[in-house]
Structure formats: structure tokens, C-alpha cells
Chains A and B, each alone.
Chain A
């Protein structure tokens, strides 16, 4: 091996090792029997199953986990449905208001949630949705990212295919459901994944709109976790680990779509 290759390999292994060190430390502390050793370097037995059992036995973690799953799967599915319909229509159908809608969707991409949370909270309050699931879910239900992603993808559907279906007498809704949706499947999976991961990590909005513990998703629960278990470091870490598991499983199962979602906009289009 040439010196350059060796150097490069050593650098890469060191860099990736360093990036994994906090993850490793998480695993060590989450498996500890108590919180006497927080260095996270050496396993002191493997008590992870007991720790998880403890959290599921008496803590509120199962509630947080359930709430997070309802929130993420619920809004994820809705985002996929509505973005698929709107993205396809904006790419392939001519209808009045198409340009205005496109401008509206693109415009929202530039807005920061810090500007919107206050008035959206007031709207949700007006609707009587404070401390409800719909209050947590509806405002974040559709993302401009999703509509835009599907639209860009739907621009690639051959016009001839749709025209042929029309000549055969298929209705527009049938064409959408039977021809467009199957072709859009990769984009829709990517959208679901991106939406799920973002929603899984959404702390700000549930923090604002839900102050009943029964409704808290994992990020809000974790934020209050230390008081709940008497500031028990190793169990807090176990809870963090549990929070990281569903995104990790999704990423392993849908790795290809994950990279596609991350790089959308970064590569040539």
C-alpha cells in the first residue's frame, strides 16, 4: 500500500470512530446498573434490558412513545396523501390558480417557524385545539417540502402515458390513483421517511401546544425526564437510546430513500 492510502485509511477510521464515540458512550451508560460511572468507556455489565424494563414498567416512557408514534405516523400518512395529490396536479394538470399555489408553497419554504408559532398558536387556541392531538398534528400536517418533492418527481411522468389513458376514457382521478401514484412511489416513501424523522424530533410545537403530560411526545418527555426519575443519569440515557431506535430502524430499512431525501435539492435537478 502506498503511504497516501494508509494515511487516508487511518484518518477515515479515526474520524468515523470519533463520530461514533458518543453513540458508543450512550450504549455504555444506558446499560449501566446505576449512575456511578458516567464515562461511557467501559461496559459495567449489560443491564440495558432491565433498564428498559424499568422505564416501561413505571415511567411515562410508554405514553411518550405511543404519542410520538401516533403523531409521526398520522401526520406522515396525511402529508403523503395530500402532497401526492397536490404535487401531481401541480406538475401535470392545468387548472386555474396553479401558479398562485406554486408561489404560495415555495414562499413558505423561506419562512421560519419562529415567526409562525405565535399566530398559529392563537389560531389553534381559537379552534379550541390546545392540549389535543389535532392541535399537535394539524398545523404540521403538510410540508412545503413534500409538495415540492412530489411535484419535481411528477414532472418526470411522461405526458404520453397520461394522454393515452385519457384517450382510453379514464377519468382524471382514476389516472392519478392508478397511474401516477404507483410511479410516484419512491418519492412518497422518501417523503414519509423525511416527514417521520422530522416530526419524531419536533420539540418546539408540542412544547407550546400540549402542557398535559398525557399528550407529550418523546422530545418533550425527554426534556422533563430528569425530574421524573429523580435526575437519574443512566435511565435518562436509556430513554434517549429508546428514542433513537425507531429512526434507526427506519433508516436501516429505507437507507436508499433516506439518502435521496437528504440530497434532494443538493444534486442536479
Chain B
């Protein structure tokens, strides 16, 4: 290191520490310590009143005999698969033609942003009305001659009512992300494909999809993670009901932790959810990395 470099190193170190100190303290107090505390709590019988007692793996054993947990875990799997797959497929079907240049497309792209920025809380209230007895869902069904349904109070339909709303809500967002990804693809490749007489479907599967892999991975990872920790739709639309039919795992964890104050048990379920999320993201990265070579 030169003399000048050595002279300059100290103020840099001071400034670096000073500028990052608030963030470092924040992440230790509100992320690292809580994370370690959550691990500890998951091995205790802590309820809001009283002190935590170490009970080993009892919470984890309890989970796998708890019908409420098993039901929630299964509903979360169904909910995640059934929201992620249709959202991405539909978003791609819209984004591919929408990313082409043109005045109409530019206007449509602006319109897609409207559902994308709707707050989830507001969206949920609107869909409560859409699903009400005299609401839009039953009106549209009536047009094709199907009897009105009680969307949110039927234990068979409620989960699908939730799924449709979430697909609608996420679609706008993903159309925007995918459109941006598609517009960033190199145009020359498409010109070459057109000269070679490549059809629309071939161009899509052989050129667009592989080039878009990185954006698709991003969309997949955030939508899977989003669905696995989704709390708001179940809370606002159905309150986990009817008869636990929409009690996704985040809702069950919240209900155990706060209204019921089974904090130790809820922390253990949180750990299982976290482990599942880490494994699923690792699989996604591995799967799409595999395509890189």
C-alpha cells in the first residue's frame, strides 16, 4: 500500500463504520437476535404468560400428530402450486405479445399497472364483494347458466376463490416484470430466427424461453416464496375458514402465536416453514442453474 493509501485508509474505516453502524445494530437487534430467539423458543413450551421451559423436540413431534398443522401444510402446498403455475403461464401468455412495440401495446402496458399496484388489503375487500351472493362472480356464472355459489362459505370452493383472487393480483405484477425482461432480449436473435423462417411457437420455445430463463427464475422464486408465506388473503377473505378449509400455514402460525399464545409451538412451525422455503428455493436455483450449462 502506498503512503497516500495508508494515510487515507483510516478515515475510510471510520466513515465506513459510522455509516453502517445503525444498519448493523438494526439487523442484529431486529433480525439476528429474533432469529436465534425463534430457534430457542421452538424448543420450549413458551406461552405469553410464564417462562419458557426447554422441552427438546416435543413441539416438532407434536406437529406431525396435529391434524391442524398437517391440514395447513397440505393447504399451503395446494395453494402455492395452484397460484404459482397459472399466474406464470398466464402472465407469459400476456407478456409475450404485450412486449412488442406499438402504441396500443404501450397503452395496454400502462393499464396492466393498475391491478399491479392495488394494495392487497383493498383487493381482498373488493373480491369479498365480487364473491358475495349478488356479486360479479355469480353474475358472470349466471350468464352461462350456472347456479349461484356461496364462494367464501363453501368449504369446497373457498380455497379456489382465494386462488383466483391471488392469481389475478399477482398477474399484473408478473406481466410487468416479464415484459421488462422480454424487452431487454437482443433483437438480432429474433431477426435471424425470422430470416430462417422460424414459426411463432418454435421461436417461443427455442429462443424466448431459454433467453428469458433468468427473469423466469426470479419470477418463480418470488412467487413461490410469496405464496408460501401468504397471510393476508386467508385473513381477509375467509378468516381461514370455513372449517379450516383455507387455513394456510402462515395463518395457522399466526393464530397459534397471537390469539392462542402458543408461542413455542408457533415458533417451531415457523422453523418448519422456513426450512421448507429454503429447500424449495434451493431446488429452484438448482433446477434452473442445471439448464445453464
Contacts and interface: CB of A to CB of B under 8 A. Distances in A.
A147 B134 CA distance: 47
Contact of B112 (A9, A19, A82, A243): A19
Nearest to A115: B270
Nearest to B175: A19
B264 to A, nearest CB: 9
A2 B166 CA distance: 35
Contacts of A119: 33-35, 37-38, 41, 267
Contacts of B118: 23, 244, 247
Interface in B198-243: 200, 214-215, 218-219, 225, 228-229, 231-232, 235-236
A22 B258 contact: no
B35 A111 contact: yes
B81 interface: no
B19 A96 contact: no
Interface residues of B, number: 98
B113 A251 contact: yes
Interface string A225-265: 10000000100110111011001101100010011001101
A201 B125 CA distance: 13
Contacts of A142: 22-23, 26-27
A104 B11 CA distance: 24
B51 interface: no
Interface in A103-138: 104-105, 108, 110-120, 122-123, 138
Interface string B247-284: 00110011001100001001100110110011001000
B117 A247 contact: yes
B181 A114 contact: no
B78 interface: no
Given A82-B23, A93-B16, A95-B15, A225 B273 contact: no
B108 A13 contact: yes
A25 B128 CA distance: 12
Contact of A22 (B23, B136, B228): B136
A118 B114 contact: no
B55 interface: no
Nearest to B37: A119
A101 interface: yes
A217 B125 CA distance: 15
Interface in B115-151: 115, 117-130, 132, 134-136, 139
B16 A82 contact: no
B117 A263 contact: no
A22 B273 contact: no
A1 interface: no
Contacts of A255: 110, 113
Contact of B17 (A95, A243, A247): A95
A115 B119 contact: no
Given A120-B30, A166-B8, A197-B117, A12 B214 contact: no
Contacts of A85: 19-20, 22-23
A201 B120 contact: yes
A218 B123 CA distance: 13
Given A41-B136, A111-B35, A244-B119, 11 more contacts: A4-B200, A19-B172, A23-B118, A95-B20, A114-B254, A122-B37, A166-B8, A201-B121, A222-B125, A244-B118, A248-B114
The 8 A-B residue pairs with the shortest CB-CB distance in the complex, in nearest-first order: A95-B16, A172-B15, A119-B34, A219-B121, A266-B218, A119-B37, A86-B23, A93-B16
